[in-house]
Amino acid sequence: MEYLIFIIAGYLLGSVSSAVVVSRLMNLPDPRSEGSGNPGATNVLRLGNKVAAGLTLAGDILKGVLPVLAARWLSDDPLSVALAGTGAFFGHLFPLFFGFKGGKGVATALGVFAAVSLSVAGGLALTWLVVALVFRYSSLAAVASAASAPLWTWWLLAAPVYTGLAMLLALMLILRHRANIGRLLAGTESKIGK
């Protein structure tokens, strides 16, 4: 029963779309129907401004952090913690309150891992930064960072449940970036700053 409570609570918190809420509060277009159609910080930046994008990013990260920290406070079972993070992540991808049309999950996944382990989150952020600086593609950096998550968790935590969490989140993040991967392969993906 505890496991079910943690995953449902995480899902409900994750279902609050930061991009939609921030856009409504700041009188910006709905990011689900404008720009790229992705309710995430990058699209909010495209449709609005840096403040709105920053608030969206912070909200998406917190959606991952808060349920995991709550689970860690309430339980010493790593599976409960992982399920809370899984719920938050899937809530972001398929939000109950916003027609199940969510974002790609990069910031929320980072929040989940930041609450599990700051060193893993640092490794993921470093991976994203290096790939972004070298290749200038945000989507490629996100996919590379996602693919590296199981390695970072295996190396730094040596906890199978967190490595499993990383594998699940990585798979979903890569699937959510299918269109970006297609554009990268075709040479039509937009570079950072373009």
pTM higher than the cut 0.85: yes
Return the pLDDT at 42.
Answer: 86
Write down the mean pLDDT value for the chain: 95
pLDDT at residue 108 in the model:
98
How many Å apart are CA 131 and CA 102, to the nearest integer?
A: 25
The predicted model gives 83-92 an average pLDDT of 98
Work out the average pLDDT over 94-102: 93
**Domain boundaries in the chain?**
2-186
Give the list of residues 6+ apart from residue 119 with CB closer than 8 angstroms, or none: 156
Residue 104 DSSP class: -
Q: What is the pLDDT of residue 10?
A: 98
- The greatest distance separating any two alpha carbons of the chain, rounded to the nearest whole angstrom, comes to 49
Alpha-carbon span 50 to 52, nearest angstrom: 5
Q: Which of 115, 106, 49, 48 is nearest to 84 (CA)?
A: 115
Give 121: exposed, middle or buried? Use CB within 10 Å, 0-12, 13-18, 19+: buried
Q: What is the pLDDT of residue 6?
A: 96
**Whole-number pLDDT of residue 48:** 83
pLDDT of residue 125: 96
- Taking only the tens place, the pLDDT of each residue in 125-176 is 999 999 999 999 999 999 999 999 999 999 999 899 999 999 999 999 999 9
Report DSSP letters for 18-52, one per residue: HHHHHHHHTT---TTTSTTS--SHHHHHHHS-HHH
Rounded to an integer, what distance in angstroms lies between the CA atom of residue 98 and that of residue 3? Answer: 25
pLDDT tens per residue, range 55-67: 999 999 999 999 9
Position 193 confidence tier, pLDDT thresholds 50, 70, 90: confident
